[in-house]
């Protein structure tokens, strides 16, 4: 039945009786089960004349239920248009038309590994059409099986992990590890994105600063008064400055404005406000306890102006001292010291206060991420391979500029393996803060698109306590961040690694204003962005999570964390995508062609 040739099984007369017998037995077996809401003629095989007879017989025998078949497309032999992994442009095209039938994707949003990007885009399209009714994510749960290594460590096994020699059996590697939850039903980070996008109360506002909240009840049978209680919070620069609760009646498929009484706020430079709205179950049900969060939304104020440069700089002496060879510069401001080195390992080597250096190695450009499963499916582990070693560099020029209250080391690096240059300016101020301005010049436009753009710092292991103001608490990416509200969060470096059953890129955060890594005494490093930053802080390097050109049966149990913290401070990282895992890319907004890029941030010491 899987034959996709010109004479397929559904078309061949020798197979007609087999098809008809299978359909009749299916209907006779399950016709009295109330949970069966429509019949399917099969999965992933070609449409043919047998399907026409199967459809006609089933509709005559059981006119109470629709009949669907994915490969029937939009012809007359299916009651439901049920495509598999349609592209977003196709969905927009069909959503703009009256189809006369439901449009339900029999499979969509392939959830393999670190995935589920652009999920909100799916649902913006779905909710724009009366015909679109959603779809079935492939898959619900990672189909991993419990196993143990030869030395007794547990892991989740997948294709290729079974049998003597393992490769003797045909397998598809981790292709069945594609759930929104792991084998123990713990949600993956992308599972939280699904929960957020699937919420049945939609929250928006044209005037959040006036406390006006627009609710749309996307349920079809339930009034909000019966099942939901709501809470709001006013957030100023990540801190809660007001809160309250409300309830409201709202019939299914209708909307209304609700006004809450907010504290008086005024627009300020360097300040931003968000109105967060949460909805909770009112009573316990067989599935959920009372007070369980089912709705959340974050509404930014129009006058937000967080990223405003300070006009005044601290006064005081800052000195710059070059080494005899001229390829090493030490910046000093009181008890603060920064060292910038040249040569083949050029970068920021030291950032210290009272002799306590928060760095354990030289900073370097970071253009690579450990390939996720969607990257492997699109062949990016090979086609973007040049970026794996794009950090190879040599100092091309170094210039020192001194001014009242500051000193700057302006470096130009030659990126040897990609034929491009990169400028990094380090400016120390009298208060010991170190501003870092980064520019990728992108001269070689023949390069493939960029997986990421940032600087990688290494810190001693003791700086393991992580705080940040940005999206969280779980990992998020530029095309998968709707479930991650902007706020202040506390965690540890060890908790940033998410154990996907096959190790891959993990732990990223987006829209970050600042972050800090501190030791048990509260001493450490703070990074503050000139614009929203992305970052990850892990005890692993990308190469630890990167198997190379093939996947090589890796598991989290195979990894050994380093006794260091690796902090990548990024302007961007490519989206994770999620249309499918066998060739689809993220939407164009989250793909980065080679061109000039620049960003900046300030390092400071937390004491």
Q: Do domains 199-300 and 319-606 have the same CATH topology?
A: no
The per-residue pLDDT for 195 is 98
Residue 85 vs residues 88, 101, 143, 324, 357: alpha-carbon distances, Å: 9, 18, 20, 62, 51
Residue 5 confidence (pLDDT) above 70: no
Contact by Cβ (8 Å): 408, 400: yes
The per-residue pLDDT for 282 is 95
Tell me: the pLDDT tens digits for 190-226?
999 999 999 999 999 999 999 999 999 999 999 999 9
Tell me: the pLDDT tens digits for 333-371?
999 999 999 888 899 999 999 999 999 999 999 999 999
Instruction: Tell me, rounded to whole angstroms, the distance of Cα 259 from its chain centroid.
Output: 33
Lowest-pLDDT range of 322-336, 365-379, 414-428, 588-602: 322-336
Query: In the chain, pLDDT over 70 holds for what percent of residues?
Result: 98
The per-residue pLDDT for 45 is 87
Q: How far is Cα 579 from Cα 574, in angstroms, rounded to an integer?
A: 15
Tell me: the pLDDT tens digits for 298-320?
999 999 999 987 767 888 999 99
Residue 164 confidence (pLDDT) above 70: no
Q: Mind telling me the catalytic residues? A: 44, 107
Residue 1 confidence (pLDDT) above 80: no
Strands 485-492 and 465-472: antiparallel
Q: In DSSP terms, which residues pair with 114 in a beta bridge?
A: none
Tell me: the pLDDT tens digits for 390-411?
999 999 999 999 999 999 999 9
Q: Which CATH number fits domain 319-606: 3.40.50.300, 1.10.520.20, 1.10.150.20, 2.70.98.10?
A: 2.70.98.10
Contact by Cβ (8 Å): 199, 213: no
The per-residue pLDDT for 327 is 83
The per-residue pLDDT for 166 is 54
Neighbours of 347 (CB within 10 A): 25
Q: How far is Cα 135 from Cα 61, in angstroms, rounded to an integer?
A: 27
Does the predicted model carry a pTM greater than 0.85? Answer: yes
Q: How far is Cα 509 from Cα 570, in angstroms, rounded to an integer?
A: 10
Every domain of the chain and the residues it spans: 199-300, 319-606
Residue 525 confidence (pLDDT) above 90: yes
Residue 2 confidence (pLDDT) above 60: no
Q: How far is Cα 327 from Cα 175, in angstroms, rounded to an integer?
A: 50
Contact by Cβ (8 Å): 327, 398: yes
Architecture of domain 199-300 in CATH? Sandwich (2.60)
Residue 333 vs residues 223, 337, 349, 351, 358: alpha-carbon distances, Å: 63, 7, 16, 11, 16
Residue 12 confidence (pLDDT) above 50: yes
Tell me: the pLDDT tens digits for 18-55?
999 999 999 999 999 999 999 999 998 889 999 999 99
Tell me: the pLDDT tens digits for 537-570?
999 999 999 999 999 999 999 999 999 999 999 9
Confidence category of residue 168, pLDDT binned at 50, 70, 90:
low
Instruction: Tell me, rounded to whole angstroms, the distance of Cα 600 from its chain centroid.
Output: 22
Strands 347-353 and 420-429: unpaired
Q: What is the mean pLDDT of the chain?
A: 95
């Amino acid at each position: 039945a899987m034959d996709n040739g010109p004479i397929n099984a559904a078309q061949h007369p020798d197979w007609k009786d087999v098809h008809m017998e299978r359909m009749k037995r299916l209907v006779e077996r399950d016709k009295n089960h109330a949970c069966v809401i429509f019949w399917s003629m099969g999965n992933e095989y070609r449409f043919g004349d047998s399907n026409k007879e199967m459809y006609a017989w089933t509709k005559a025998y059981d006119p109470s239920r629709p009949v669907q078949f994915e490969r029937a497309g939009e012809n007359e032999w299916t009651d439901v248009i049920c495509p598999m992994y349609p592209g977003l442009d196709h969905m927009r095209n069909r959503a703009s038309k009256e189809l006369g039938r439901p449009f339900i994707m029999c499979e969509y949003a392939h959830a393999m590994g670190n995935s589920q990007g652009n999920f909100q885009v799916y649902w913006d399209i779905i909710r724009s059409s009366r015909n679109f009714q959603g779809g079935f994510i492939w898959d619900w749960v990672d189909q991993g099986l419990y196993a143990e290594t030869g030395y007794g460590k547990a892991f989740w096994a997948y294709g290729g992990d079974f049998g003597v020699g393992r490769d003797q059996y045909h397998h598809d590697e981790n292709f069945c590890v594609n759930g929104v939850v792991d084998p123990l039903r713990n949600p993956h980070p992308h599972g939280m994105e699904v929960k957020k996008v699937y919420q049945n109360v939609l929250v928006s506002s044209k005037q959040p600063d006036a406390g006006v909240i627009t609710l749309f009840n996307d349920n079809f049978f339930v009034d909000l008064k019966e099942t939901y209680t709501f809470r709001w919070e006013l957030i100023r620069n990540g801190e809660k400055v007001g809160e309250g609760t409300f309830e409201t009646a709202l019939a299914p498929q209708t909307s209304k404005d609700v006004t809450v009484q907010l504290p008086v706020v005024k627009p300020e430079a360097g300040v931003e406000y968000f109105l967060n709205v949460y909805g909770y179950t009112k009573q316990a049900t067989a599935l959920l306890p009372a007070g369980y969060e089912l709705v959340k939304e974050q509404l930014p104020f129009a006058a937000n102006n967080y990223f405003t440069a300070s006009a005044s700089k601290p006064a005081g002496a800052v000195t710059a001292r070059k080494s005899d060879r001229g390829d090493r510069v030490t910046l000093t401001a009181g008890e603060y010291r920064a060292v910038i080195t040249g040569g083949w390992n050029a970068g920021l080597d030291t950032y210290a206060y009272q002799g306590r250096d928060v760095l354990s190695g030289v900073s370097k450009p970071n253009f690579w991420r450990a390939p996720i499963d969607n990257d492997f499916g699109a062949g990016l582990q090979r086609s973007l391979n040049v970026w794996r070693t794009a950090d190879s560099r040599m100092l091309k020029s170094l210039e020192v500029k001194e001014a009242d209250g500051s000193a700057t080391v302006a470096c130009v690096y030659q990126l040897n393996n990609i034929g491009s240059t990169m400028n990094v300016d380090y400016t120390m101020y009298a208060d010991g803060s170190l501003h870092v301005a980064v520019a990728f010049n992108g001269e070689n436009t023949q390069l493939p698109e960029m997986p990421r753009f940032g600087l990688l710092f290494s810190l001693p292991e003791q700086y393991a306590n992580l705080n940040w103001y940005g999206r969280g608490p779980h990992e998020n990416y530029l095309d998968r961040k709707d479930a991650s509200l902007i706020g202040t969060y506390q965690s540890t470096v060890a908790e940033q690694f998410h154990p996907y059953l096959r190790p891959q890129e993990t732990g990223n955060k987006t829209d970050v204003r600042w972050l800090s890594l501190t030791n048990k005494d509260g001493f450490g490093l703070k990074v503050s962005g000139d614009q929203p930053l992305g970052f990850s802080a892990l005890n692993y390097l990308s190469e630890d999570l990167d198997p190379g050109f093939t996947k090589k049966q890796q598991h989290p149990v195979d990894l050994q964390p380093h006794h260091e913290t690796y902090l990548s401070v990024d302007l961007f990282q490519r989206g994770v995508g999620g249309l499918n895992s066998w060739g689809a890319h993220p939407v164009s907004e989250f793909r980065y062609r080679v061109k000039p890029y620049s960003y900046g941030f300030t390092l400071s010491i937390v004491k």
